[in-house]
Amino acid sequence: MSLSVTCCGTGPPIVVLHGWGMNSSIWQPVVPALSEHFQLYCIDLPGFGDSVWSSENDVSLESFVEQIMPALPPRFHLMGWSLGGLIATQIALTHSDRVMSLTTVASSPHFVESNDWVGIKPTILEQFQQQLDSNFKKTIERFLAIQAMGSEDAREQVKQVKQLIFTKPMPDQGVLKQSLAILQTADLRQQLPNIEVPFNRFYGRLDSLVPERAIDDISALAPESKAVVFTKSAHAPFISEPERFVSELLKLVEN
């Protein structure tokens, strides 16, 4: 099978999707606790980790969804981090009959800053695109540093994440570049009101990629959703505050 899926635990199924440049190992800090309550499906997105990009289509939210869905259980809770949150949102919009709840983590329906929207400065993502051609491992390491920026133990977090993700193969470079373009261009803002399943949103107060100021704007687009802010976290609250992360998820996701 071209898609790598690691399954553990017992209980209602929950599918977790990682972010750009990463793989499913990133979830290790919360896997033991989550697997006590859920049957946990950790996916390597196509082209990342041990998964192969097997679609003939270009890299897009739709082509990610097309490759992931056949490997998933009939009904499941769904959680996506960063880019994985965009893909999870697309799944919830197009396959609401199979999704029991949606939780996005440090994610945004539109990641890039504009006149009327708070987000990542476009120049940062443009620099990443250029650097991928010369040294893409170093580019991912720099992206990790930006993700941890602001948290109290940023250096330790970056070290921990590198140890986790570099246990698996590096991403397919073509998929890496094209999925970075998704972060630059995807815009699901107008579709958020169409989400029909219970919708939870987790954020890090210190996140520079999805700034705290964006939270209220996203809440306005999805007024039925619930937002949780992790005060000591930047872009990866499940790494910086794993116990609280699991506790908040269990409060919101029916067991």
Catalytic one among 4, 63, 207, 240?
A: 207
Is 97 tagged catalytic? no
Count the residues in the chain.
255
The token pair at 247 is: 């506790």
Coil, helix or strand at residue 161: helix
Q: Is 38:165 a contact under the CB 8 Å cutoff?
A: no
DSSP assignments along 31-60, one per residue: HHHHTTTSEEEEEPPTTSTT-----SSPS-
Phi and psi torsions of 13, nearest 5° = -70, 135
**Closest listed residue to residue 65, CA positions, set 99, 35, 14, 34:** 99
| 207: annotated active-site residue | yes
Choosing from 82, 101, 108, 240, the catalytic residue is 82
Query: In this structure, how many other beta carbons lie within 10 angstroms of the beta carbon of residue 18?
Result: 24
Could you tell me which of 166, 118, 116, 150 has the C-alpha nearest to residue 237? 150
Q: Which of 51, 233, 235, 240 is catalytic?
A: 235
Do 148 and 234 form a contact (C-beta atoms < 8 A)?
yes
CA separation (Å) from 136 to 26, 46, 99, 113, 177? 18, 18, 34, 24, 9
Q: Nearest-CA neighbor of 145 among 131, 162, 170?
A: 162
- Cα separation, 165 vs 175, whole angstroms: 17
Give the residue numbers marked as catalytic: 82, 207, 235
